[in-house]
Amino acid sequence: NAGVTQTPKFQVLKTGQSMTLQCAQDMNHEYMSWYRQDPGMGLRLIHYSVGAGITDQGEVPNGYNVSRSTTEDFPLRLLSAAPSQTSVYFCASSYSSLGTGANTQYFGPGTRLTVL
Amino acid sequence: KQEVTQIPAALSVPEGENLVLNCSFTDSAIYNLQWFRQDPGKGLTSLLLIQSSQREQTSGRLNASLDKSSGRSTLYIAASQPGDSATYLCAVRTDSSNTGKLIFGQGTTLQVKP
């Protein structure tokens, strides 16, 4: 298994540009999430999905869109990039484990985004 | 609102020393707590997951404990090695629907000197 993969690894955008960060997992996980990591702020949840066709907002969703057309893929779209979106973005996935609490999260290697 | 705090932010120890990393959370109503390791420029790797009904989990030289009532968890690393140098993050799950939503601490950056 490749686990959780993310592309690109690095990206530089100009203010106002749009782009899509790709995330894919080959573990047949129901749950997928996007986090951003900023110095001194830890990781914060942007959006998450509990299955194909179902998404919801996390703690910091403004400026980002997501969709989940397949179990494997969960792309994150920046509609109009702003310098405040300069960050490291991580995608994560896990199994459903209702009632057990044993939902170990698996993280991708991250995408480092700079918005000028 | 649940808040997770890790102190200290950075720690430097000589090789071979046993050490403890701390994680505290403000709301004891958690479903599990997970410890992660992050190497520079890399993603997160899960080390240990403690369910709310458990007191501790062990993996090799790592031992994580959980005290829900006091809102605290510790990660004990025995006989530290330079390869243990990394940032260690703790995260709690607080929702019952298992949406994968975690609340993270800011991490402790550990340096183990040869």
How far off is chain B from A73, nearest CA to CA, in Å? 16
Tell me the pLDDT tens digit for each residue of A92-111. Answer: 998 865 555 557 788 999 99
**A-chain residues near B98 (CB < 8 A):** 31, 94, 96-98, 101, 103
Tell me the pLDDT tens digit for each residue of B21-51. Answer: 999 999 999 988 999 999 988 899 999 999 8
Span of A82-96, B3-17, B44-58, B88-102 with lowest mean pLDDT: B88-102
**B-chain residues near A45 (CB < 8 A):** 101-102
CA separation for the pair B3, B48 (Å, rounded): 20
A23's CB contacts (< 8 A; 6+ apart) are A4, A5, A6, A32, A34, A73, A74, A75, A76, A91, A108
- How many Cβ atoms sit within 10 Å of the Cβ of residue A72? 17
Residue A53: phi, psi to the nearest 5? Answer: 85, 0
End-to-end CA, chain A: 36
pLDDT class for A58, splitting at 50, 70, 90? very high
pLDDT class for A14, splitting at 50, 70, 90? very high
Residue B5 has pLDDT above 70, yes or no: yes
Q: Alpha carbon of A81 to those of A15, A21, A64, B41: distances in Å?
A: 5, 12, 9, 22
Tell me the pLDDT tens digit for each residue of B45-85. Answer: 999 999 888 999 999 999 999 999 999 999 999 999 999 99
Question: In this predicted structure, what is the pLDDT of residue B112?
Answer: 97
Residue with more model confidence, A1 or B114: B114
**B-chain residues near A92 (CB < 8 A):** 44, 100
Contact B106 A33 (CB under 8 A): no
pLDDT class for B1, splitting at 50, 70, 90? confident
Query: Region A80-88: what's the mean pLDDT?
Result: 97
Question: In this predicted structure, what is the pLDDT of residue B98?
Answer: 62
Residue A37 has pLDDT above 80, yes or no: yes
Question: In this predicted structure, what is the pLDDT of residue B41?
Answer: 85
Interface test with B, best of A6, A50, A107, A111 (most B CBs within 10 A): A107
Coil, strand or helix at B32:
strand
pLDDT class for A8, splitting at 50, 70, 90? very high
Find, among A26, A7, A29, A90, the residue nearest to B41 by Cα.
Answer: A90
Contact B34 A104 (CB under 8 A): yes
